[in-house]
A and B are shown apart, each in its own frame.
Chain A
Amino acid sequence: MSIKPLIRLDRVSKAYETEAGDFLALKNINLQVEPGEFIAVVGKSGSGKSTLINMITGIDHPSTGDIFIADTKINNLSEGKMAEWRGKNLGIVFQFFQLLPTLTVLENVILPMDFCGLYDKNDRISRALKLLQMMEIGYEQAGKFPSQLSGGQQQRVAIARALANDPKIIAADEPTGNLDSKTAELVFEMFGKLADEGKTIMMVTHDRDLAKRVDRTLVISDGEIIEEYLSRTFPGLSEKQLVWITSKLKVRKVQPGEVVLKRGDPVDTLYIVAKGKAEVVVEPVSGRDFVALELGRGKYFGEIELMMGKTSVATVRGGQESGAEVVAIANDIFKKLINEAPSVKKQMITAAKYHFKEHIVNERKKQ
């Protein structure tokens, strides 16, 4: 059974009017985020990362397209309803912490509860203190003003504030961008913990190292999304080509054990594992399955057949534990891609030869 996405963007575009003319910040974006995912959004300055986050947080509205969070179509909400909805469902963390300077740390954390009228008035202090403690901000710091804290501490207070109304989603716009690496690491860990506890986290970051440690990375390039595993799969592709190929992908959910490719069947598609694991199964003589290889995120299969013109040399199925999400690139698209990108062609030829050799070895092992 597939999981219902918590966040869904359908053909979302955003154009800004500038003195130099219209600027398209997001172009026809489709995105689905499942509950509990920890997603990093990376990209160059001006690529549209923050615009994407602003769309999801309702800070900004799409020019076209729809945004659904849980079952709420948020781009249809009035400003007042949006504020109320946002207060209860989303926690936002900013790069420059953005704590209100005239309120103490504790008061900053209470403020969202106060605005949204959530929690009993008498419970707000204890809840705020608990959240601060969770963020490793001691009781003695709670009465201080933000200016009396370090950057890292301020950002942890900002996270506590974002958690004040216990939202399902935390959106963070470069939360570590203004911190030294050690403090950034600490703050990142906090987000990790929150993800482990089931919060859905979308974090804009410049830090590619941090981005590697999340469940999923979205690369934004000129207002379009590239799934990070694609760039890992095809390191030789330009961002433009990655964007093009992203738009041609067909997503397929594969249940545990469900067969994607059957040995001997003709192959007209390249598959890339987007989530979970796929298993390459070699059928042993005894009739028992032999899992020759597990393919994780970014790994692909079908290239041997496409490059060498063979029928499927092995059976590939969804991982027994997690199943998988695979994306399919049709043969004509694949051909166009390798024609336009010689490095990918070379990569595919090498991979096909290497994997075919591995296949022969496996065949021998089987016997």
Chain B
Amino acid sequence: MIPPRIKKVLRDLWGNKGRTLLVVLAIAVGVFAFGSVFITQELLLKNIQDSYIASHPSDVTLSLSDFDESMVTWVKTQKDVSNAKGFSLQTVKLENNNKEILLSLIAHQNFSEINLDFLIPLRGVWPPGEGEIAMERNSYIGGKMNLGTYLHIKNLLDKSNDLLLTGEVYGNSVIPYIFSQQMTGYISWETLGNLGYSQKYNQLSIATTPNIKTLNDAENFTNNLTDLLKDRGVMVNGMRISTPGQHWATDNSKAFTAILSVIGTFSLILSAFLVVNTVSAILAQHRKQIGIMKAIGAKQKQVVQLYLLMVGTYGILALLIALPIAMILGYFFLKLIADFLNLDINLFYLPLNIFLIELAAALIIPLVSAIVPIIQSAKKSIRSAISDFQTSGKANAVSIFLTNLRGFSRPVLLSLRNVFRKSGRLFLTLGTLIVAGALFMSVINVRSAMYRELGRILSLYDFQVSISLAGDANIENIESRLKSIPNASMVEARNGVTAKRIKPNGSEGSDFHISGLPPDTSFSHPTVLSGRWLKRGGNNEIVLTSSFVRDNPDLTPGSDLYVEIGNYKYHFNVVGVISASSGNGGPQQIFADFSTISRIKDTPNLASSYFIKTNPADVQTQILVSNEANNVLERSGINVVFTETKNDIISGAANQFNFLIFFLLAMAVMVAVVGGLGLAGTMSLNVMERTREIGIMRSIGANDSAIEKLVLIEGSLVGLISFLLSIPISIPITFGFCYAIGNAFFGRTLVFTVVPIGWFIWFVIVSVIALIASYLPARSASRMSISETLSYE
């Protein structure tokens, strides 16, 4: 037989379904928000790592002058090389939806012998036959391409070819289009020849042995190897070095999920607030029952156990709801991030540690939150517990102040005073709503700060169209042709070189690009973070970007920067750092005077990059001028590699930020739901506790609408107070976000930004929450009959 006290707990839960649901939901929301974030975090990193390891990743990729299999065999014998693979990479232009997109064509001599950076066939034919192409699946962003269609490509000499799209593959190491703005396709060795390229390798992928552990180890290893390659007469044109055993998105994913987990933890803490509120109210309601139980022999410990059992049951019920939701939500988040990062979710399960954390969150947090009110209630003397003479709130300073307010009607004054009657409950409800509001406002603020940062970065791109030529061309010639295009108002030429840093210890870093531009350019308005911008006549001056400095923290204005450009060593003076970020995985870009680069390259009056300002600057004009520039130059026999409008640049960057913002907002909405539940709970508890009072008001003439108004005004006031208080609280949270997100994704703390429109949006949301949260209790209050309310115990 179940002991009667256990039955009491179960019947109390079942008998008050509405209240049980409220508490269970309050716990569940926190637990599933928390759980989904932690499932995402744990499984995202596991999936990244697992699929990365499963793809047999290379750690170093070198762009070399043509070589053959014998060299690959030789590389495999070198120290710390565990495996190597040669392949050919050619960059072409792909026409897609009337736009030209860069396409990396990768050709392997024998696809069945790929031993590094494995590819997984997904659809169609694999490997591609002669005249065929298999696209990496992530290339479909921006327009799905159907198998069986022909892709029109142009090589950099503008020779057109059509390739039949026959397959779709997945390459784990391929950086998604959203970051690289470049698609990837695979062709056979024969097709490579047919397209006019030499059937030689120009890329060497190397996997290192476990001796190479850090990025520094990998850089040293690459330096030694490239020295040996140079000795063998091979030219090293570029290199990409990754931290061994670590996917390129690992660090950012860690930072991203860490920010989410902070918000998830907030939700959990807020749900604990709700538990305290609701359990306290339940205990207040059970005051007499507790007294009676003690009077008939229940010890304090037994009463505590009884109510802990009740809270524990709430926790278990919440866990039963929260776990599947956390799994579903976790999968949804994971899938979204995985798609974004071009990852597969091969692993999806409930990790034991997350289950245990969830169990602890659902059980221990409510129990810990409830223990104090439970002990307080159990400790209460029987006399005060069973006494009928309980005042429901002493007159506090606020009440006295409100009593003296003039110009409000009595019912409004009553609502005002009711707000402050249960100060503990008000504090916790306000706390929940304030944090929800502050988080929401902070997300809107940080979104704006990110866009502001983006704006700063984009101030480097004060032009509407950029054109990359296959090689250097006469500036005067190109400029005159481009200026002839209708709506093209100004043209600027820039040059550039690929370089790699020679560090003070003699080691070399990854490739980066030095862009040469006129110091007094009107096409870029960089935000100088430290030092200064380039000035005319400055000798060997160089300006770094914030993201370059993040990777090379020893460099500041005044530092010396030594670089290697085409086997020659050059020295630059660092004069400033500007706000700019490179795309994930893309090469870094830094800036020098046009004349400096011309001198290094020995190409006066020649440039390969041209920029056009259009008038008007709208998207339509950008596209028209871009297309026309392409046509004009190609008609003159000048090979255009690539044209890009400013709109393309903005949307590429904005996509990344919007993704981040989406998640932050999703979390903020979750916190808002917790806040709404909190307010709904508080209002129902207030109404429940004041049932008798409502009966008295009814008996002295209060009609339905007067009762409803009383509750609605009270709820709205709580919403309003929380709104006003969340504004100052959002400030430190915004600072925190600006620091965390800025440093994780931009290489520097974002500039603190306050967006009053965010306040307004939250004001609307919190008002709606308050009205919805108060409406149901208000309605049920107005429906109670006098006899019901006066006999309420």
Contact = CB atoms under 8 A, between A and B. Distances in A.
Nearest to B9: A102
Interface string A209-226: 000000000000000000
Nearest to B385: A59
A29 B7 CA distance: 42
A94 B386 contact: yes
Interface string A47-84: 00000001001011000000000000000000110011
B8 A100 contact: yes
Contacts of A87: 296-298
Nearest to A107: B4
B1 A111 contact: no
B4 A114 contact: yes
Interface string A104-130: 000110111011100001000100000
B1 A115 contact: no
B11 interface: yes
B295 interface: yes
Interface in B1-45: 1, 3-5, 7-8, 11-12, 15
Nearest to A98: B292
A351 interface: no
Given A59-B382, A100-B293, A108-B4, A115 B299 contact: yes
Given A102-B8, A102-B15, A125-B1, A84 B382 contact: no
A157 to B, nearest CB: 12
Interface in B374-423: 379, 381-383, 386
A88 interface: yes
B8 A83 contact: no
B294 interface: yes
A111 B293 contact: yes
B712 to A, nearest CB: 31
Nearest to B10: A102
A155 B518 CA distance: 99
Given A98-B386, A100-B8, A116 B297 contact: yes
A80 B297 contact: no
Contacts of B289: 100
Contact of B5 (A79, A91, A114): A114
A86 interface: yes
Contacts of B293: 100, 111, 115
A84 B292 contact: no
B1 A121 contact: yes
Interface in B227-267: none
A73 B711 CA distance: 51
B218 to A, nearest CB: 67
A57 B291 CA distance: 13
Interface string B266-303: 00000000000000000000001100111111111110
A102 B1 contact: no
A111 B15 contact: no
A337 interface: no
Nearest to A54: B383
A111 B4 contact: yes
B750 to A, nearest CB: 55
Given A54-B383, A121-B1, A161 B296 contact: yes
B4 to A, nearest CB: 4
Contacts of B15: 102
A218 to B, nearest CB: 20
A57 B295 contact: yes
A282 to B, nearest CB: 54
Interface residues of B, number: 27
Contact of A100 (B292, B297, B300, B381): B292
Interface centre among A60, A86, A121, by most chain B C-beta atoms within 10 angstroms, is A86
A312 to B, nearest CB: 50
A86 B297 contact: yes
A52 B256 CA distance: 67
Contacts of B1: 121, 125
Nearest to A124: B1
Contacts of A100: 8, 289, 292-293
Given A60-B381, A98-B288, A103-B11, A83 B4 contact: no
B310 to A, nearest CB: 11
A60 to B, nearest CB: 5
Nearest to B382: A59
Given A94-B386, A103-B4, A115-B5, A59 B297 contact: no
Contacts of A111: 4-5, 8, 293, 296
Contacts of B5: 111, 114-115
A102 B282 CA distance: 14
Interface centre among B293, B295, B379, by most chain A C-beta atoms within 10 angstroms, is B295
A116 B301 CA distance: 12
A100 B292 CA distance: 8
A105 to B, nearest CB: 11
Interface string A147-175: 00000000000000110110000000000
A115 B8 contact: no
A110 B8 CA distance: 12
Contacts of B11: 102-103
Nearest to B292: A98
A92 interface: yes
B359 to A, nearest CB: 28
Interface string A273-313: 00000000000000000000000000000000000000000
A55 B299 CA distance: 18
Contacts of A161: 296
Given A59-B382, A107-B4, A114-B4, A92 B12 contact: no
B393 to A, nearest CB: 14
A94 B292 contact: yes
Nearest to B14: A102
A69 B289 CA distance: 26
A83 B383 contact: no
B734 to A, nearest CB: 46
Contacts of B295: 57, 59, 86, 92, 94, 98
A366 to B, nearest CB: 59
Nearest to A61: B381
A83 B299 contact: yes
Given A59-B381, A98-B386, A125-B1, A83 B7 contact: no
A257 B295 CA distance: 45
B72 to A, nearest CB: 79
Contacts of B381: 59-60
A84 to B, nearest CB: 6
B761 to A, nearest CB: 45
A26 to B, nearest CB: 13
B109 to A, nearest CB: 79
Contact of A115 (B7, B12, B298, B379): B298
Nearest to B288: A98
Contact of B7 (A59, A94, A107, A121): A107
Contacts of B301: 80
A247 B696 CA distance: 45
B299 A80 contact: yes
Contacts of B383: 54, 59-60
Contacts of A112: 296-297
Given A102-B15, A107-B4, A115-B302, A88 B292 contact: no
A114 B386 contact: no
Given A59-B295, A59-B383, A102-B7, 18 more contacts: A57-B295, A59-B382, A60-B383, A80-B299, A80-B300, A83-B294, A83-B298, A86-B295, A94-B292, A98-B292, A100-B292, A102-B11, A103-B11, A107-B7, A111-B8, A114-B3, A115-B293, A125-B1
Interface of B: 1, 3-5, 7-8, 11-12, 15, 288-289, 292-302, 379, 381-383, 386
5 contacts: A84-B297, A100-B289, A103-B7, A112-B297, A121-B1
Interface of A: 54, 57, 59-60, 79-80, 83-84, 86-88, 91-92, 94, 98, 100, 102-103, 107-108, 110-112, 114-116, 121, 125, 161-162, 164-165
The 4 closest A-B pairs by CB, nearest first: A87-B297, A102-B11, A107-B4, A59-B382
